[in-house]
Chains A and B, each alone.
Chain A
Amino acid sequence: MPTTFEKTWNHLWNYVPDKTSAAIQSQNLAWFFKAFLLGQLPLYFNGAGSGTPGAPTGAWKCLYSSGVQSGANAGPGITTIAAGSNGAALPQATINVASTAGFPLGGGQFWINIAGSMQLITYTGTTGTSFTGCTGGSGTMATGQNVFDATDRWSANTTVAAGSNGAALPQATVNVASTTNFPASGSFQIYTSSGLQTVNYTGVTGTSFTGCTGGGGTMSTGGLVYNSLFSAAQIVQNTAGSAHNWMVLKSPDGLGPVYVYIDLNSAANANWSVAWSLTAPTGGSNTARPTATDEVQQSGWSNMSWTNGNTTQHAHGSLTTTGDFTIWIGDSGYINKSGLIFQKLADTKTADLYPYFMMAGNTPWSISPWCNVTSVGCRTFNGGGTFAAPVILVPIVNGSANCFSTNYMGGHDVVDMLADDHPLYVWNFSGGAYTLKGRLYDIKAGPAGIAQNSMFCEPSPTSPLSVLLGGAVTLAFWHPTYAQPVY
Chain B
Amino acid sequence: MPTTFDRTWQMSWNQIMDSTSGETALKNAVWQLKAMLKGEITLNDNTATPIGSPAGLWTCHYSCDGVTAGTAGDGVDRWTGTYTVGKLVDSNGGAHSWMVLKSPTNFGGATGFLYMVLELNQNNGTGFTCTVSRSAPTGGTTTARPTAPDEIGGIWTSFCANNTNTRFHGGMTSLGEWYALTSTGGVNFCGTGLLTALQDAKSADGFPYLFVSGGSTGSTGRPIYYGNSGVASPANCWGRDKNNAVTIHPSMAPWGPANNAAQTIFINQTTTDATDSAYDDLPVYVFVAQQGQFSLRGRLPDIRWAPTGTTEPSYEPVAGTPQSVIVSGVWFPTYIVPIF
Using a CB–CB cutoff of 8 Å, the interface residues on chain A facing chain B are: 349-352, 370-372, 380-381, 391-405, 407-408, 411, 413-416, 420-423, 425, 427, 429, 432-437, 474-475
Contact = CB atoms under 8 A, between A and B. Distances in A.
| SS class, residues of chain B in contact with chain A | loop
Interface string B240-266: 011000000001011111111011011
Interface in B280-301: 280, 282-283, 285, 287, 289, 292-297
A392 B38 CA distance: 43
B256 A415 contact: no
Contacts of A400: 230
Across the A-B interface, the 7 shortest Cβ-Cβ residue pairs: A371-B259, A391-B257, A381-B275, A399-B229, A402-B258, A398-B230, A395-B253
B274 A433 contact: yes
B273 A434 contact: yes
Given A420-B296, A436-B280, A371 B287 contact: no
B110 to A, nearest CB: 15
Given A415-B242, A416-B204, A436 B289 contact: no
A187 B289 CA distance: 60
Given A398-B231, A429-B266, 14 more contacts: A349-B275, A350-B276, A351-B275, A352-B276, A380-B274, A391-B262, A394-B256, A396-B253, A397-B251, A403-B253, A415-B295, A429-B265, A436-B282, A475-B258
B8 to A, nearest CB: 20
9 contacts: A349-B275, A351-B275, A397-B230, A401-B259, A413-B294, A413-B296, A414-B293, A427-B262, A429-B266
A339 B294 CA distance: 32
Nearest to A407: B289
A402 B230 CA distance: 11
Contacts of B297: 415
A372 B262 contact: yes
Nearest to A371: B259
Contact of A404 (B241, B253, B260, B271): B253
B242 A398 contact: no
B274 A370 contact: no
A215 to B, nearest CB: 52
Given A394-B258, A399-B229, A415 B202 contact: yes
A139 B8 CA distance: 44
Contact of B230 (A349, A399, A435): A399
Contact of B202 (A416, A433, A437): A416
Nearest to A394: B258
A474 B205 contact: no
Nearest to A475: B258
B265 A474 contact: no
A392 B282 CA distance: 12
B311 interface: no
Contacts of B256: 393-394, 396, 401
Nearest to B275: A381
Contacts of A404: 253, 287, 296
B295 A414 contact: yes
A401 B276 contact: no
A350 B294 CA distance: 37
Contacts of A401: 256, 258-260, 263
A371 B295 contact: no
A435 B273 contact: yes
A393 B282 contact: yes
A400 B242 CA distance: 25
Contact of A423 (B204, B205, B283): B283
B106 interface: no
Interface string B299-320: 0000000000000000000000
Contact of B259 (A391, A415, A421, A422): A391
B91 interface: no
B122 interface: no
Nearest to B280: A436
Contacts of A427: 257, 262, 266
A372 B282 contact: no
Contacts of A349: 273, 275-276, 278
A228 B53 CA distance: 64
Contacts of B204: 415-416
Contacts of B271: 434
A414 B269 CA distance: 35
Interface centre among A400, A420, A432, A434 (most CB of B within 10 A): A434
Interface centre among A370, A394, A436, A437 (most CB of B within 10 A): A436
Interface string B182-218: 0000000000000000000011110000000000000
Given A397-B230, A398-B251, A435 B274 contact: yes
Given A351-B276, A413-B202, A416-B202, A372 B259 contact: yes
Contact of A371 (B203, B262, B276): B262
A395 B276 CA distance: 24
B296 A435 contact: no
B287 A397 contact: yes
A349 B205 CA distance: 33
Contacts of A432: 274
B82 interface: no
Nearest to B279: A436
Nearest to B287: A397
B80 interface: no
B27 to A, nearest CB: 35
B228 interface: yes
A256 to B, nearest CB: 18
Contacts of B282: 393, 425, 436
B266 A411 contact: no
A79 to B, nearest CB: 38
A371 B263 CA distance: 10
Contacts of B203: 416
A432 B275 CA distance: 12
Contacts of A402: 258
B255 A396 contact: yes
Contacts of A435: 273-275
B202 A394 contact: no
A421 B200 CA distance: 11
Contacts of A394: 255-258
Nearest to B252: A397
A436 B255 CA distance: 12
B266 to A, nearest CB: 7
